[in-house]
């Protein structure tokens, strides 16, 4: 497993920290699922004037969780190169200051692309949003 400790916290992306997110874990679960997890307390900057987290902000966090999970599952100098496609569904509102969890998981890793999914949930497990994504990989020869 790749050491990604430098990706914890804001993941090396100040935007994530400004939105109120902090990555706290990456690795492989007991069942072999490669994942990345964050805690997210949405900052006011993530919200519309009514205090509701804007849908595009969900996508930013879901994208990062999938990307970090994929990179955790790659070895050597292999890495994700670009997001090719993402689909996000927002089912319930999040609000500034809510205690949320974000989790990205690798669904399938192929030679040139990886498939992943991610979710944003409240601490009680209520699903707020989810995404699926396809990512182009860079593999060292």
Instruction: Identify the structural domains of the chain with CATH numbers, from first to last.
Output: 5-138 (3.10.129.10)
Q: Which of 138, 125, 131 is nearest to 55 (CA)?
A: 131
Q: What confidence tier does 1 reach under pLDDT thresholds 50, 70, 90? A: low
CB 116 within 8 A of CB 105: yes
Measured in degrees and rounded to the nearest 5, phi and psi for residue 7 equal -90, -5
pTM of the model: 0.94
Mean predicted lDDT score pLDDT of the chain: 94
CB 95 within 8 A of CB 48: no
Average pLDDT over residues 82-92: 97
Interacting residues of 132 by C-beta distance below 8 A, sequence separation 6+: 86, 87, 107, 115, 116, 117
pLDDT tens by residue, 57-66: 999 999 999 9
pLDDT tens by residue, 108-131: 999 999 999 999 999 999 999 999
């Amino acid at each position: 497993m790749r050491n990604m400790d430098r990706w914890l916290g804001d993941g090396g992306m100040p935007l994530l920290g400004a939105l109120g997110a902090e990555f706290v874990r990456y690795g492989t679960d007991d069942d072999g699922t490669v994942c990345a997890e964050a805690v997210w307390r949405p900052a006011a900057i993530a919200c519309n004037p009514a205090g509701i987290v804007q849908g595009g902000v969900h996508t930013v966090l879901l994208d990062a969780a999938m990307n970090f999970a994929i990179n955790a599952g790659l070895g050597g100098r292999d890495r994700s190169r670009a997001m090719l496609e993402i689909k996000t569904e927002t089912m319930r509102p999040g609000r500034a200051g809510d205690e949320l969890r974000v989790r990205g998981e690798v669904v399938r890793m192929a030679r040139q692309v990886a498939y992943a999914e991610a979710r944003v949930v409240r601490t009680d497990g209520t699903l707020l949003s989810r995404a699926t994504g396809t990512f182009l990989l860079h593999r060292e020869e």
